[in-house]
Amino acid sequence: WIHGLTIEDEFTHKPMVQQYFQRMWKSLHYYQKMIQEPSRDKLLPDPLQHPYIQPKYTLVLEMKDVLVHPDWTYQTGWRFKKRPGVDHFLSELAKEFEIVVFTAEQGMTVFPILDALDPHGYIMYRLVRDATHFVDGHHVKNLNNLNRDLR
């Protein structure tokens, strides 16, 4: 029988039952914060500096009902249909804008759709549910966290 080393934390020197409940409370608080707050404070990296070219404007788009339309049937389940003209829309706007898709959908749903939708890489950044605030049961997108001038 081999004994491992005890890893001490702020609760180690308290009674066992109190340790258990305080660790549980700390874990619950951590997971609540992880769900309610964005995964990072600055959602986009700092703008590119000279000699690189940073587009003058940033265009933030929602994926669902702007670039694609969700459609559900009993036969196929959920399918996302590309909006008419979206290829031309992205190619023209990419000439003047930094294009960002910001959606409250899960990344595992969004990334394959955007990979198929944008094979040329016009969309510079993809922000998903982990970049939103969870407020009163809804995922809220806060543009102040984009790290861009909103004027």
Distance CA 39, CA 91 (A): 30
Domain positions in the chain are 1-36, 57-146
- CB–CB of 135/37 below 8 Å? no
Q: Where are the beta strands (DSSP E) in the chain?
A: 57-61, 68-73, 77-82, 97-102, 123-127, 133-135, 138-140
What is the tens place of the pLDDT at every residue in 77-106? 989 999 999 999 999 999 999 999 999 999
What is the tens place of the pLDDT at every residue in 11-63? 889 999 999 999 999 999 888 887 777 778 899 999 988 898 899 999 999 99
Query: How confident is the model at residue 30, as a pLDDT?
Result: 86
Burial class of residue 67, CB neighbours in 10 A (0-12, 13-18, 19+):
buried
Give yes or no for residue 118 having a pLDDT over 90.
yes
For residues 139-145, give the mean pLDDT: 93
Query: How confident is the model at residue 66, as a pLDDT?
Result: 96
What the block records as the tokens of 57 is: 């404007």
What the block records as the tokens of 54 is: 């940073």
Query: How confident is the model at residue 34, as a pLDDT?
Result: 75
Distance CA 80, CA 71 (A): 6
- CB–CB of 43/147 below 8 Å? yes
Distance CA 34, CA 42 (A): 16
Q: What's the CATH architecture for 57-146?
A: 3-Layer(aba) Sandwich (3.40)
